[in-house]
Amino acid sequence: MALFVYKFGGTSVGSVERIKAVAGKIKKAKERGDDIVAVVSAMSGETNRLTSLAEQMQDEPTSREMDVLLSTGEQVTMSLLSMALHDLDCPACSYTGGQVKILTDSMHSKARVREIDDSNIKKDLEQGLVVVVAGFQGVDENGNITTLGRGGSDTTAVALATALKAKECHIYTDVDGVYTTDPRVEPKARRLDKITFEEMLEMASLGSKVLQIRSVEFAGKYNVALRVLSTFKEGNGTLITYEESEMERALISGIAFNRDEAKLTITGVPDVPGVASKILCPVADENIEVDMIIQNIAADATTDFTFTVHRNDYQKTKAVLEEICKNLSAKQVTGDDSIVKISIVGVGMRSHAGIASTMFRVLADEGINIRMISTSEIKISVVVDEKYLELAVRALHKAFDLDKEDQ
Ligand code: ADP
Ligand code: ASP
Ligand code: MG
């Protein structure tokens, strides 16, 4: 007998029929003799629906009230799943994050898990119950409801698997594993049997939303066996692991992309010490996260400074930069919010030269202009115009031999 944490995403619990199917799947696992803790997301579309209700109520609702509101989505699913289990004569009990209790810090909308009191869960498991937990939420030390950021139910599942020392944490979703790239963009994408934590972390950070970044960080830190599988189709899915050996042969494991990017440039900035901090500190003060940064030196002792931010922060960043432009007597601020970042990721890159040049040649052959480049040990990212996203991803997928063999 082993303990598993199963997490079911929004699509997997998107209707009454699907919740019943999930209950059936859990019942089968119980019949095999396993103990199950099920973490559930809100029904698909529900978190967005709740967000739009809030927007109709107030321009900028407080993050505390937003968390109270958004946490209800998962609360609906947890009780419905518990009822569906009862209906199958499978005893179950549901808990909100606060009831468990999953203690977090007080950073509303992006709280971090600090500690989990697993005593209720353990008691219920001992009595043979299936424990259903609302994902994406916790409670701070003052009793305020917090949420863990979009996609946060993945992190709830991994945190519970860690606390309960589960055998494996299964992330059940609408794809049957982690693919070489998003199969919605490249149907020739291949499912990976295994991927390293390091690569999965890069893929998640660079835009592959199949797993929330923090869930991968958490699982890597505590060495939780993490597996992504389909709710709808049998199979072994993809195991996220520390083992590298078999995969070393592949130069590139996957291609990630992020559509949520925008870039801004401030030109004609005096090229003197302290200029980067004069530009980026006021941006940071507005709580705007900066991603890629490039500084060019011009012949006339001025510099052009370009960086990317989340697309939602584009207008706000532009306003901050206009002010900085005046203060620094720089030339002008320009920007573009229809760009995307595309990244190739692979631990094999460490030991092979020429990967960047191949990437740039493939893009050039397709007539795609590269606007920014950044590299690290196991990834190369480029910024290109949004209209080239599909073309670029597919061309790179083919060039790096990632396409499915049978196509
Ligand atoms: P859930 O609601 O179950 O949490 P998500 O929508 O968060 O599901 O994640 C699953 C989706 O992630 C898939 O439908 C797929 O389009 C997308 N995705 C992006 N990159 C990848 C990838 N490399 N492999 C698999 N799926 C990916
Ligand atoms: N319901 C939340 C979201 O849509 C959390 C999750 O599904 O993981 O982001
Ligand atoms: Mg998700």
CA of 256 to the centre of ligand 1 (A): 11
* Segment 346-365, tens digit of pLDDT: 988 887 888 999 999 999 99
Does 161 lie in the same domain as 13? yes
* Segment 361-398, tens digit of pLDDT: 999 999 999 999 999 999 999 999 999 999 999 999 99
**What is the reported pLDDT for 296?**
84
Q: Does residue 207 have its Cβ closer than 6 Å to ligand 1?
A: no
Strands across the sheet containing 130-134: 92-95, 130-134, 35-40, 3-8, 168-173, 226-230, 238-241, 194-196
* Segment 133-164, tens digit of pLDDT: 999 999 999 999 999 999 999 999 999 999 99
Does 25 lie in the same domain as 167? yes
Does 156 lie in the same domain as 26? yes
Is the CB of residue 116 less than 8 Å from the CB of residue 163?
Answer: yes
**CA 171, CA 154: separation in Å to the nearest integer?**
7
CA of 380 to the centre of ligand 1 (A): 21
CA of 316 to the centre of ligand 3 (A): 27
pLDDT at 189 over 80: yes
pLDDT band at 301 (very low <50, low <70, confident <90, very high): confident
Q: Does residue 180 have its Cβ closer than 6 Å to ligand 2?
A: no
pLDDT at 217 over 80: yes
Ligand 1 atom with minimal separation from the 231 CA: 3
Does 17 lie in the same domain as 147? yes
Q: Per the domain annotation, does 102 fall within a domain? A: yes
**CATH number of the domain where residue 376 is located:** 3.30.2130.10
Is the CB of residue 359 less than 8 Å from the CB of residue 384?
Answer: no
**Mean pLDDT calculated for residue range 161-174:** 97
Q: Provide the CB-side half-sphere exposure for 63 (13 A, CA).
A: 10
Residues 6+ apart with CB under 8 A from 199: 253, 254, 345, 346, 347, 378
Q: Which percentage of the chain shows pLDDT scores above 70? A: 98
**What is the reported pLDDT for 213?**
96
Q: Does residue 174 have its Cβ closer than 6 Å to ligand 1?
A: yes
**What is the reported pLDDT for 1?**
79
**What is the reported pLDDT for 248?**
47
Q: Per the domain annotation, does 323 fall within a domain? A: yes
Q: Per the domain annotation, does 300 fall within a domain? A: yes
* Segment 316-339, tens digit of pLDDT: 999 999 999 999 999 999 999 999
Does 167 lie in the same domain as 267? no
Instruction: Tell which of 149, 174, 199 closes a domain.
Output: 174
Does 266 lie in the same domain as 150? no
pLDDT at 220 over 50: yes
Q: Per the domain annotation, does 190 fall within a domain? A: no
Ligand nearest the Cα of residue 180 is: 1
Does 388 lie in the same domain as 283? yes
Does 289 lie in the same domain as 387? yes
Q: Can you give the residue range of the structural domain that contains 15?
A: 3-174
**CATH number of the domain where residue 19 is located:** 3.40.1160.10
**Mean pLDDT calculated for residue range 220-227:** 96
Q: Per the domain annotation, does 247 fall within a domain? A: no
Q: Per the domain annotation, does 272 fall within a domain? A: yes
Does 16 lie in the same domain as 162? yes
* Segment 85-104, tens digit of pLDDT: 999 999 999 999 999 999 99
pLDDT at 200 over 60: yes
Radius of gyration of the chain (CA): 23
Q: Per the domain annotation, does 181 fall within a domain? A: no
Does 26 lie in the same domain as 158? yes
* Segment 244-266, tens digit of pLDDT: 655 446 789 999 999 999 999 99
Q: Per the domain annotation, does 188 fall within a domain? A: no
**Total number of domains in the chain:** 2
